[in-house]
Structure 1
């Protein structure tokens, strides 16, 4: 049975992805910062709760031990993320943009992804078909953000898209470093979740489609790519 870990999984896209993968027969480890919420979500889904804060080394190390003791890992879905611009904290280009504001976003979206991936690599290497799915964003696409007329062009924030562009670069480099893995970045689309104050125009069911699809890749599937449910996206 395929063992899957999803970070940030007690609600939103992570929760829906977990629901779909449990239904597909995966053993799903639900990575959550809040033990109570994680336990309740796991009980509803038939998943296994794992206390996991991607910003803390000790928390990630403990999660590795938990998953290893439960039999190992085949699929890692780096879903946990924050979008501070939605809170109006000034993370837009201008005099108010500071390194500290950028750092807060990068700590979760970039360093957290690296921290988790690095820690779980030994378990993934033992899998016969290791898969990593990095949840990115269309706002990470330099091509789309620099093209007038695209929805992304008018987005004013900098910390969130910059962090997801870094995720895309990491995806490419990890894929080259581990050719036996299937490692891809995905754009779920503008989905209504707490991340964006529930302003998205599509459902979590629609948004989770590409995450689930890439999580179920076989050894002959693509790697080092950037995908939506409709197909590849430009970098």
Structure 2
């Protein structure tokens, strides 16, 4: 919830807020309710098979811990998907972020790097934007890479044979479908943002994935995509559908 307060501040004053966000984010792992949060994560990771009351309690506790409520309908509409995906892939594996942002980079750093001790590669074409994150997040497990030319995207992700999660939300927009196809065979779960935007022409990439789910609860849609692991895909989908059933408050 502390991060949520500063996310609201960042929306209004992005240039001033980023230092405050990173300073306060380091406190989260020391909060006294971490034991409860870990218990809830363990339950979701190892126990649940279907939507039930106990699952609702654990999942809502985790959401409130990491994400501002009401849920952001626009730039942060992918947060719930990233949260569910990060928890359910916590057994290991690196994570790839194509396109940095307040709502993805900070959340992924806290969960993937600080808590789960996994490698995270964050990339962006805007050096000034990327540098803000790099200057305020320090970890040997979190690498930041500036993409100078469009062609460089072809090589991003080749430093690992397989990715646990890949988040696609980068520029230029025409690269998204190319990387969507390129990463299909080397990624367990792909999270694709802005899937309601026709201009990205995602269709040619989406057909590569036999398991597809579009999270439409928030006005800016996000897709969960998987080529091989139906069980993992099913569990992520169950968590996201639970947020719809619980009618988690959203902005707008």
TM-score normalised by the chain length of structure 1:
0.45
TM-score by length of 2: 0.43
